[in-house]
Chains A and B, each alone.
Chain A
Amino acid sequence: MKLDPRIKLLLIAMLTSLAVFAKDIVYLGAVALTALLLDIMLRANILDALKRIRHFLSLIVFIAVVQSLTVKSGKSIVSIGNFTFISSAGLLNGAEFALRMGIIILASIIATTEKGRGMTDALIKLKLPYEIAFMVSVTIRFIPMFREEFASRLTALKLRGINIKKLNICKKVKVYTYLLSPTVAGSIIKSRELANAMEARAFRAYPQRTMLRDLRLKFIDYAVIISVIAYVALFAAVSIKIGGII
């Protein structure tokens, strides 16, 4: 399914909003399933995207487990004497957090299906100033580059005989701080070079920009807009009728 980038932004906005507002685990599950189906329909490379953020995923799991262990209300599931280790409310809290984050991740994967200037064009069409839209797209483009740079420096560190796994936590933090500082400094240097290159190519020399590819909504885009409205309306209706969902 090929959609206009503006519709993809709409889908991302809808899914992330519902992830924040939905209060019930069943409905969070439904939203997560919707996000997953949309990723599949838009032919997003979900596994590749998840692989890239695997460290972040383990952090989410860790926070979810901590939440499960710290919330003690509800029915006791695992306990020793009077002390409750895991309660029903704790488990529910952890699962809800994991689902919420999952929805946000699956929604953001939709953005990866748009190549080139698609997102910039979409933001311009949504009346965002060109300079801001361009900055947003440059930021997105720089993220994989920073990740690659960080990985390269990590390799360089290993090639100098430092075994990070064997270091204690304080030294590990120090090493990662060391690796972050050149990446941040490098990004400042790169942004300065990019600014010079843009100036050299007469960026903003003409106030009125023309577009090589003008975005136009097609039938499928309108169909998705109607579906989004219906989906959100259904959520709102169920919430009003049953209560406590949104």
Chain B
Amino acid sequence: MHKNDYAYGDKRMIIQIVDLCFSYNKSKKILENVTYIFESGKAYILSGANGSGKTTLTRLIMGLLKPNMGSVSIDNEPLINPSKLRLADKIGYLFQNTDMQLFANTVYEELAFPYQITGAYNNDIENKIDITLKEFGLDGLYDRFPLLLSGGEKQRLALATIFIRDVQFLILDEPSSSIDQEGKIFLAELINRFVEQGGGVIVISHDEELKDMINNPVHISLNEGRL
């Protein structure tokens, strides 16, 4: 695997959540008056028991769910009916099940497809894809069908699809669930480098080993719907 060869742009960003409440049904509240500020330049490790609302919180930040009460704002701009497209430019989201994030027929297309379909594909993008695939240790797998890759390879590919977009913030949902020791080291280096360059990262993880590898993380815990 290679070190990151290209620098990222300005990543200053603040995600502010105020009095966020959410429940899937009336009987059980998942989040209750959650207030917090996530700033760029920091790595946050979000932990909590299974079903405590970690993934729900991140999905609310991404605008994939609508809060029952409270608000999410990015750089002091409230997300009212948040546009997934606008958020996609700023925040990269790694699904817990990376299979759901991959849909192209080859590894190369997985990265090229969004550019091809929007007509933005050119030589620069081609070079960027090559660099990204190398950086994520996926060179040599260009023509492979993504869903038939190993768990670790699938996860690196999903990460590559995020990093190629130069996002300012990363949300990684259980990123070490299907990777080996080498993969964890790579992931931790990636997170540390991203934070050093000014980006912000929220990592949902139960993996103590990965947590130890991340530099100066801010530990936050969700317990019965409260931070």
Contacts and interface: CB of A to CB of B under 8 A. Distances in A.
Contacts of A161: 85, 88-89, 114, 118, 165
Nearest to A155: B64
**SS of A interface (majority):** helix
A74 to B, nearest CB: 46
B104 interface: yes
Interface stretch (B23-31, B67-75, B92-100): B92-100
A175 B165 CA distance: 19
Interface residues of B, number: 27
A186 interface: yes
B197 interface: no
A144 interface: no
A182 B85 CA distance: 22
26 contacts: A152-B95, A152-B101, A153-B100, A153-B103, A156-B95, A156-B100, A156-B101, A156-B102, A156-B103, A158-B85, A158-B88, A159-B88, A159-B93, A160-B88, A160-B114, A161-B88, A162-B114, A167-B117, A174-B117, A175-B117, A179-B103, A181-B105, A182-B103, A182-B104, A182-B146, A189-B147
Interface in A187-202: 189
A163 interface: yes
Contact of B147 (A156, A163, A185): A185
Interface string A142-164: 00000001001101111111110
A43 interface: no
A204 interface: no
State the majority secondary structure of interface residues on B: helix
B145 interface: yes
A54 B211 CA distance: 44
A170 to B, nearest CB: 10
Contacts of A163: 85
Contacts of B117: 162, 167, 171, 174-175
A178 interface: yes
Contacts of A171: 117
B89 A181 contact: no
A160 B89 CA distance: 8
A186 B145 contact: no
B84 interface: yes
Interface of A: 149, 152-153, 155-163, 167, 171, 174-175, 178-179, 181-182, 185-186, 189
B46 interface: no
Given A178-B113, A181-B105, 12 more contacts: A152-B101, A156-B95, A156-B102, A158-B84, A159-B62, A160-B114, A161-B89, A161-B165, A162-B117, A174-B117, A182-B146, A182-B147
Contacts of B161: 160
A222 B64 CA distance: 48
Contacts of A157: 103, 114
A222 to B, nearest CB: 37
B147 A162 contact: no
Nearest to B145: A185
B74 to A, nearest CB: 15
B87 interface: yes
A182 B102 contact: yes
B147 A155 contact: no
A194 to B, nearest CB: 15
Given A155-B84, A185-B147, A178 B103 contact: yes
